[in-house]
Amino acid sequence: MTNKNILIADDEKNIRLTLSMAIEEMGFEPDTAVNGEEALKKIEEKNFCIMLLDIKMPGMDGMQVLKKISESRPDIRVIMITAHGTVDSAVEAMKLGAADFLQKPFTPSEIRDVITRVFNRETLDTERVNEYDTLIELAKQQIGNRKFDAAKEFAHKAAALEPGRPEIFNLLGVLYEIAGNKEDAVKNYRTAYWIDPTYAPSKKNLERITDIHGFAFGIDLGKNPKEK
């Protein structure tokens, strides 16, 4: 990417200011929009490589904006700004090709990390496919391209390399859920939960996708998924 323009769409002035300052320090050029309508107008007028988009905004919300961008400007990598507990929206955003997520409250370091990851994905060396971190980023790159089968392949390779990492099984769960395969989604969320019961994303996904007691499909959250 030679384009370094980044659009921030958030109705909170302090958030826009914090993100703009962090982006400028990284050598990128920030622009801002106070709502979804203004954001869509700006992407018609200017070329952006990345967009930071708040899910919750008055009027046209972030999900509606993301849907329109995925149809008209799929080249823009969209990082969704989420609040704690917005798991349903996060899965839906991935279906629409969201490149990554930034959860409130965030630090300048977290802002820099997520922007760097998304920016650098475009130049990943696909020959380094035996490295766990590279495989994760390649999977997320394909999610951003809405190529979910390719993303799943990279994620499965990462899981084979590092089977003790809960985040990769949680990502696989999301990918199976996007594909409409609820049973395999639950199995992967459950695997992530079993590897590390303190890993919050997998627990939230299990609670969301199963019934209130967590026993859909005969699943016991506390049982090793490899046991019969």
Domain boundary among 81, 97, 122: 122
**Whether residue 112 is found in the same domain as residue 165:** no
Which structural domain range is residue 80 located in? 5-122
**Whether residue 109 is found in the same domain as residue 19:** yes
Report the candidate in 25, 29, 30 with the shortest Cα–Cα distance to residue 10: 30
**Whether residue 82 is found in the same domain as residue 147:** no
Report the candidate in 33, 20, 30, 91 with the shortest Cα–Cα distance to residue 59: 33
pLDDT tens digit string along 29-85? 999 999 999 999 999 999 999 999 999 898 999 999 999 999 999 999 999 998 765
Q: What is the CA radius of gyration of the chain?
A: 18
**Rounded average pLDDT over 154-176:** 95
**Whether residue 141 is found in the same domain as residue 174:** yes
In the predicted structure, residue 212 carries a pLDDT above the cut 90 = no
**Whether residue 108 is found in the same domain as residue 202:** no
**Whether residue 156 is found in the same domain as residue 88:** no
In the predicted structure, residue 86 carries a pLDDT above the cut 70 = no
Q: Is residue 228 part of a domain?
A: no
Q: Is residue 223 part of a domain?
A: no
**Whether residue 131 is found in the same domain as residue 74:** no
Q: Is residue 225 part of a domain?
A: no
pTM score? 0.80
Domain boundary among 75, 106, 122: 122
- Looking at residue 22, which CATH number applies to its domain? 3.40.50.2300
Q: Is residue 226 part of a domain?
A: no
Q: 211: which DSSP letter? A: -
State how many domains the chain has. 2
By mean pLDDT, which of 109-113, 117-121, 128-132, 212-216 is the weakest?
Answer: 212-216
**Whether residue 182 is found in the same domain as residue 73:** no
Q: Is residue 175 part of a domain?
A: yes
Q: Where are the alpha helices (DSSP H) in 26-78?
A: 36-45, 62-72
**Whether residue 9 is found in the same domain as residue 118:** yes
Q: Is residue 64 part of a domain?
A: yes
pLDDT confidence of residue 201: 87
**Whether residue 142 is found in the same domain as residue 116:** no
**At residue 80, what is the residue type?**
M
**Whether residue 92 is found in the same domain as residue 171:** no
CB atoms within 10 A of CB 70: 18
Q: Is residue 196 part of a domain?
A: yes
**Rounded average pLDDT over 104-122:** 91
Dihedral of CA atoms 28, 132, 156, 194 in degrees, nearest 10, equals -100
- Give the DSSP H/E element, type plus range, for residue 103: strand 100-103
**Whether residue 143 is found in the same domain as residue 199:** yes
**Rounded average pLDDT over 150-173:** 95
